[in-house]
Amino acid sequence: MFRSLLFVPGNNPSMLQNADIFMCDAIIFDLEDSVNLDEKDNARNLVETYLLTTKELPKAVILRINPVNSELINDDLKLLETRRIDYVLLPKANKISLFVLDKILNDLENKFELKQTKVICLVEEAKAIIEVYDLAIHERVRGLLLGAEDLTSELEINRTISGEEILYARSKVIYAAISNKIIPIDTPFTDINDTEGLIKDCKKALNLGMKAKTAIHPSQLETINDIFSPSKEAIEWAKALLAKAKTLNKGAFQFEGKMIDRPIIEKAKKIIEKAKLFDLM
Amino acid sequence: MLNGVKRDIPKNLPRFISSDDFLNKSRRLIEKKKKQSKTVFFNSYDEVFDKLKIKDKQTLSFHHHLRNGDKVIQDVSKIIKKLGLKDLHFAPSSIFPSYTNMIDLIFNGNITNIHTNYLNGEVAKIISEGKLKGKLVMNTHGGRARAIESGDLGIDVAFIACPTVDKFGNGTGAIGKNACGTLGYCISDLEYAKKVVLVTDNLVGKLDSYQLNGEYVDGVLVVDSIGEAKGIVSGTTEITKDPVGLKIAKDCSSLLYELDLIKNNFSMQTGAGKTSLAVVNYVKDIMKKQNIIGEFASGGITKSYVDMLEEGLFKKLYDVQCFDLDAVKSFRKNKNHIAMSASEYGNPFVKNSIANKLDFVILGATEIDIDFNVNVTTDSIGYIIGGSGGHADIAKGAKVTIIISPLIKSRIPIIKEKVNTITTPGEDIDILITERGIAINPKRKDLIEKLKTTKIKIYDIKELLEKTHNLTGVPSKIKVSDDIIGYVEYRDGTYIDVLREVHNDYIR
């Protein structure tokens, strides 16, 4: 379960060194888009050295590999041998690329006796939006991350603050993820100086059903965490409701003037689960 | 002989005992000067030197309110070179990189001793390398005022750059083409120097309000330019984007909140750096959300505090030195933006000094050691890169003193077993906030107790040292020369540390 995931370019040593101190729930060490071709080996070496030598890792480690049809993929996935990577982020995910990745991972896991590698699919192509449910049902896949920049580029449309152009894509990702009990993760907000815009974008994504958002700069994390965390009021409401449910031990009852039944109790339980996980209680 | 912070101080010099030791002494004050005649107007620096009979071995003082924009100290240095005066004692409140005309004077023995609060740039470099023939004494802003008022630092002639002067010799920094705002650092010089010359580039008929009283002024010199007010800008108007700085600022604001330090009528002071500004912004958010109105903020004042005053978040600003032009403008227009002298700010013998009224201060450090001693004077190889300024004054005065710093700066750990130079004693430092954890001085049991029930994790400072060494390795020990080039003088006039010449291996 995440609220915030921060992209860190693999070739940025100072960001790597401080990866454990940022206020995010996961770090995405990027070997793909933020790293130029002539820096790929350097970035991979730096990330590997960091993973092998650091004493304090971030809460969760995600590795964004290069596309499976690139020559870089095998070297990228060798980093799994460090046994310190929690998820692989598959760029340009679609049914074929996920199939190929699954096959490579099976071979690696057998050869090096690794446990099953969890995958987050980066949904950033029109084809992927159509196939997103098939990605979500794959046993390795634990999350779907919408990549709106590549998607809108392919569609030849402009990104806007209101985000209407990605409403369909966001919704597809959310419904595919939620219906398969995995996490939908929202696309990053790319203007790091526009805090108001970030707030609006987070709220929009949250209200549609996104459960987390990626950040491209640490300065975005506080806003993202605030918006994707249960509020103090929600936590208090959930605590009181669950306390009453425990006392009454009934399937349905009244609470604060409203009828409460199983779905509401489940919602309250999720709030408490998140609050505990994110150290809000 | 070892002093109270275990530094070896040469015999016969006053040794620091503790930051409270001044309480065992009574305040010494020499008489304020009495002007013998009416204010004289000079035509040139040459005439000033001639009429005031400035000669070898005298002490000349200056203030640094124009900071890197100051031309007065530059022009006086030129005249000294021309006249060939020798063995002068310079006592500017600070020395900035732009004061380049001092360099030749130091090499040639025109200036042989210096008394200042802060030192940076080429002058600092050559002094660090042993080029000053006499000694450098680095004291604090409050300590300098104390030294002048007690006669410990006798001043023969004070050259006071003053943006506007009237025909009666009264002066103000609030107006004029080079307005720099408050003139707090030169008030002691004005009142206690044997001779006082105001140097201005804006002469007016009569000032209705002024900070410098013409009663103390012997002469006025009108020049084309006293400098460039744009050069006064210190600090920044931008909040840090540095993720490490942001993390520190956020943790600092959480800690202030948990310690219940942000409440109605509270008072605070911070530095002018980007991380400090981020802290101020977080504090501002808390104040707005909780409808809190603070009593005052103080220090070198920046735009961020001016904005808070204008928004009604603080009732007053006490300003010893404007750090930017927004602060200058505010000082000119807002009656609640109040000038204070260095003595009113941080003189240990001024009981109700602003420093003593502060609830908390947030300061930086170049190094901090496991006894919480702080160095803001020298860098990791011994070059002078700053000085106390008001650091030691407000660290002593404030109820809670917080140091904010990344654990590593340019690959160098800031926590040391022992700092190279002690500027502020550890007994006056309460909390260290870094990006990887917070340490509290064990003597502040009250703070530790208060934080026990919160989610804020407290580390032993030695644990933070270990964390740093895990990242950087253990740095090799710095080599130091045996030659003493000067002293760090604590605010009470005792010596807290010595300054040694940079070792030959590090000369660059």
pLDDT digits (tens, 9 = 90+) for A225-236: 999 999 999 999
Q: Residue A215's beta-bridge partner residues?
A: A6
Average pLDDT over residues B73-98: 97
Q: What is the mean pLDDT of residues B488-494?
A: 98
- Predicted pLDDT of residue B235: 57
pLDDT at residue B394 above 60? Answer: yes
Show residues of chain A in contact with B459, CB under 8 Å: none
b/e code B120-137 from CB counts within 10 Å (16+ = b): bbebbbbbbbbebebbbb
For residue A252, the model assigns a pLDDT of 87
CB neighbours of residue B98 within 10 Å = 20
Average of per-residue pLDDT across B87-92: 98
pLDDT digit string (tens) for B150-176?
A: 999 999 999 999 999 999 999 999 999
Minimal CA separation from B368 to chain A, in Å: 21
The average pLDDT across B288-307 equals 95
CB contact (8 A) between residue B250 and residue A22: no
Widest pairwise Cα distance in chain A:
65
Put simply, the chain A residues between 173 and 192 with a CB less than 8 A from any chain B CB are 192
Bridge partners (DSSP) of residue B321 are B300
Closest C-alpha among B78, B130, B76, B73 to residue B99: B73
State the CB neighbour count (10 A cutoff) for residue B372.
Answer: 26
Q: Which helix (H) or strand (E) holds A243?
A: helix A232-248
User: CA-CA distance, A90 to A105, in Å (whole number)?
Assistant: 12
Q: How many Å lie between the alpha carbon of B415 and the closest alpha carbon of chain A?
A: 17
Mean pLDDT, range A185-192, rounded to an integer: 96
A187: exposed, middle or buried (Cβ count in 10 Å: 0-12, 13-18, 19+): buried
Nearest to B496 by CA among B342, B393, B406, B353: B393
Q: Which chain A residues are closer than 8 Å to B246 by Cβ?
A: 218-219, 222
Residues B345-386: tens digit of each pLDDT: 999 999 999 999 999 999 999 999 999 999 999 999 999 999
Contacts of A149 (CB under 8 A, 6+ apart): A124, A159, A187, A190
Q: Is the pLDDT of residue B73 over 90?
A: yes
Q: What is the largest CA-CA distance in chain B?
A: 69
Over 80: is that where the pLDDT of A84 sits? yes
CA dist B174 and B164 (Å) reads 8
Interface residue of A18, A52, A198 to substitute, partner B, most B CBs within 10 Å:
A18
Chain A nearest C-alpha distance from B233 (Å):
24
Segment A10-66, tens digit of pLDDT: 999 989 999 999 999 999 999 999 999 999 999 999 999 999 999 889 999 999 999
pLDDT of residue A250: 83
pLDDT the model gives residue B35: 67
Mean pLDDT estimate for chain A: 95
Nearest CB to B244; choose among A18, A55, A222: A18
Would you tell me how many other CB atoms lie within 10 Å of the CB of residue B78? 14
∠ CA A101-A107-A113 to the nearest 5 degrees?
A: 120
Distance from CA of A169 to the nearest CA of B (A): 31
CA distance A171 to A146: 10
Residue B471 pLDDT grade (very low, low, confident, very high; cuts 50, 70, 90): confident
Helix, strand, coil % in chain A, rounded to nearest 5: 50, 15, 30
pLDDT of B455 reads 87
Distance from the B450 Cα atom to the nearest Cα atom in chain A, whole angstroms: 19
The pLDDT of A237-243, averaged and rounded, is: 94
Out of A98-102, A187-191, A246-250, pick the least confident.
Answer: A246-250
Cα dihedral across residues B273, B275, B278, B284: positive or negative: negative
Cα–chain-centroid distance for residue B145? Answer: 12
Count of CB pairs separated by less than 8 Å, A with B:
27
Per-residue pLDDT, A132: 98
Cβ atoms of A83 and A67 within 8 Å: the answer is no
**Where does the pLDDT of residue A281 fall: very low under 50, low under 70, confident under 90, or very high at 90 and above?**
confident
- Pick from A55, A218, A279: CB nearest B243: A218
Find the mean pLDDT for residues B406-413: 90
Chain-chain contact of A279 with B247 (C-beta, under 8 angstroms): no
Interface of B with A (CB under 8 A): 241, 243-244, 246-247, 250, 435-436, 455, 470-471
Residue A225: its H or E element = helix A221-228
Annotation: CATH topology of B243-478:
Glutaconate Coenzyme A-transferase (3.40.1080)
Which among B241, B243, B250 has CB closest to A18? Answer: B243
* Contact between B435 and A18 using a beta-carbon 8 Å cutoff: yes
Phi, psi of B255 (to 5 degrees): -65, -40
B241 contacts in chain A (CB < 8 Å) = 192, 217, 219
Asked if A126 reaches chain B (Cβ–Cβ under 8 Å), the answer is: no
Average pLDDT over chain B reads 95
> CB under 8 Å to B401, separation ≥6 — which residues?
B360, B361, B363, B394, B395, B428, B429, B430, B431
CA distance A19 to chain B (A): 10
Q: Among residues 193-232 of chain A, which lie with CB inside 8 Å of chain B?
A: 217-219, 222
Residue A153's pLDDT band (boundaries 50, 70, 90)? very high
From the CB of residue B483, how many other CB atoms can be counted at a distance below 10 Å?
11
> Is the pLDDT score of B34 beyond 80?
no
Q: In this predicted structure, what is the pLDDT of residue B239?
A: 75
| Shortest distance, CA B256 to any CA of chain A (angstroms) | 18
Report the C-alpha gap between B377 and B387 in whole angstroms. 4
**Nearest of A191, A244, A238, A240 to residue A219 by alpha carbon:** A191
Cβ–Cβ of B246/A219 closer than 8 Å?
Answer: yes
A53 touches chain B (CB under 8 A): no
pLDDT for residue A241 is more than 70:
yes
Give the chain A residue nearest B278 (alpha carbons): A219
Please say if the pLDDT value at position B236 is more than 60.
Answer: no
Give the minimum alpha-carbon distance from B243 to chain A in angstroms, rounded to a whole number: 6
Question: Does A123 have pLDDT greater than 90?
Answer: yes
Q: Please report, for chain A, the start and end positions of each structural domain, with discontinuous segments joined by +.
A: 4-228, 232-277
> In CATH, what is the architecture of A4-228?
Alpha-Beta Barrel (3.20)
B290 CA: distance to closest CA in chain A (Å): 16
The pLDDT of residue B241 is: 78
Nearest CA to B246 among A8, A28, A11, A220?
A: A220
Those residues whose C-beta lies under 8 Å from the C-beta of residue A248, and which sit 6 or more positions away, are none
d(CA A47, CA A43): 6
Task: Report pLDDT for B237.
Answer: 61
Beta carbons of A21 and B435 less than 8 Å apart: yes
Partners of B243 on chain A (C-beta within 8 Å) are 15, 18, 21-22, 217-219
Considering only CB atoms, B241 lies closest to which of A22, A219, A222, namely: A219
What span, in angstroms and rounded, lies between the C-alpha atoms of B253 and B44?
Answer: 52
- Residues of chain B neighbouring A219 (CB-CB closer than 8 A): 241, 243, 246
Domain edges within chain B: 243-478
Q: State the average pLDDT over residues B424-441.
A: 97
The answer to whether A55 contacts chain B (CB < 8 Å) is yes
Are B301 and B317 contacting, i.e. CB atoms less than 8 angstroms apart? yes
Q: State mean pLDDT over B464-487.
A: 93
Q: Do B247 and A21 touch (CB under 8 A)?
A: yes
